Amino acid sequence: MREAIALVGRQLTIRANDVVPEMFSGKIQAIDPARKAVLIALDEPIEDGGTQYDWAIASGRLERDDLEPLAAKGELGCGITWIPSEKISPQDPFELDWWRGGGAAIADVLLR
């Protein structure tokens, strides 16, 4: 897991697919090994349904997935939750208890 934590500060791309029609880029701000999640500050905000998303949390698609493929291969299939700035918690930016639907996607993230 140490390899995954070393990814903080790296740039990545969220690959376009059927659900995510564009490529997005951002920077890894933090990694939570217990939640198997990556916090991403988007380089450009995403607008969807009148909401602006400046952040994303990416985690492995399956519960058994961890972050090692991202560290080892530079690619990981993820579930992604888009987060507006007003919803990100400074105490725990990975906390998603508030989320009840909205900005989410399945996509691959690729290190640059």
- How many CB atoms sit inside 10 A of residue 80's CB? 23
- How many CB atoms sit inside 10 A of residue 6's CB? 11
Residue pair 26/58 in contact (Cβ under 8 Å)? The answer is no
pTM above threshold 0.85: yes
Number of domain units in the chain = 1
Angle at 12 between CA 6 and CA 18, to 5 degrees: 135
Q: What is the DSSP letter of 5?
A: H
Give me the domain span that covers residue 100: 2-111
Each residue's pLDDT expressed in tens, for the chain with a length of 112 residues = 556 668 899 999 998 776 667 889 999 999 998 888 999 999 999 888 888 999 999 988 766 677 888 888 899 899 999 999 999 988 999 998 888 877 888 889 999 8
Closest by Cα among 22, 85, 79 to 55: 85
